[in-house]
Structure 1
Amino acid sequence: MGTLYYGASTSMAEFDDRVLAHLQMAIVAKLRRGESFVFSWDVDREKGSGSHSLWISPTIPLRFTYQAGRRGPINRSWVDALVKTANSVPGLRIVDEPSESVQSASRDDE
């Protein structure tokens, strides 16, 4: 499990390393353009269920940590789908990974 730390406090959210790697790419793409947006996700039943939302802004520090040393290949189609949701009024949501081509280069190799 990877962890997204938000802001200067100990606010955090845990995601599968692969999901977090794709979220990181989508979030960083938006922040590089100076764009703020809402990120919302559902919480699993075993963790209490419900949902969370964060206002993601270039002025608020983020940190991504990964349990595994390598995050695996990046599916560019999935990153594009995540960015597309971030551009919508409801904001960034985790969507299912498209079964289309998975790129062979991982973020660790770049």
Structure 2
Amino acid sequence: MGTIYYGGSATPIHIDDRALAHLKVVVATKLRRGESFTLSWKHPEDEERGRSTIWLHPSIPLRFVFDEPESPELSREWLEELAQTANSSGGMMLVAEHIENGDDEPEDTSPQAVEVSRD
């Protein structure tokens, strides 16, 4: 489980390492271009129902921390899907990765929900 530390907030945002690796690529690309946008995610099932959104801006400090020392292999399709949501008027939405399981049905293996520490 990776973590995003955003701005001066003492509230870490916990995201699966694989999902975080993909988010990092898309977020860094947008911020490097000087683009501001929102990032939204659904709350995990063990938390109060709903979703959260943060405003990402190039001038606000942002740090990605991964539990795993090795970077995962990235999915071009997932990166493109995340980038497409980031470029929409609704902002970037953490969408699940779709993996073909050979049955012509995509398997949803990544959480769409993100845990936010309430310490």
Structure-2-length-normalised TM-score? 0.78
The aligned residue for residue 62 of structure 1 is: 62
Using the TM superposition, give the Cα deviation of residue 76 of structure 1 relative to its aligned residue in structure 2, in angstroms: 1.8
The aligned residue for residue 2 of structure 1 is: 2
The structure 1 segments of at least 4 consecutive aligned residues displaced by more than 2 Å after TM superposition are none
Q: C-alpha deviations, 1:60-105, integer Å up to 9, x for none? A: 01000011112310112211111110010110001232437xxxxx
Aligned length: 100
The structure with more helix, counted as a fraction of residues: 1
Map 1:1-110 to 2 at 5 A.
Answer: 1-99=1-99
Structure-1-length-normalised TM-score? 0.84
> Whose RCO is larger (CA < 8 A, sep 6+)?
2
Q: Distance in 1 between matches of 2:16 and 2:96?
A: 13
Q: Distance in 2 between matches of 1:17 and 1:75?
A: 13
Using the TM superposition, give the Cα deviation of residue 29 of structure 1 relative to its aligned residue in structure 2, in angstroms: 0.7
Q: Distance in 1 between matches of 2:8 and 2:30?
A: 20
Q: Distance in 2 between matches of 1:49 and 1:3?
A: 21
Matched AA of 1:72? P
Q: Distance in 1 between matches of 2:57 and 2:91?
A: 12
Q: Percent same amino acid among aligned pairs?
A: 43
* Larger Rg belongs to: 2
Structure 2 residues not aligned, in runs of 5+: 101-119
Q: C-alpha deviations, 1:4-41, integer Å up to 9, x for none? A: 11002313211100000000001001001100001000
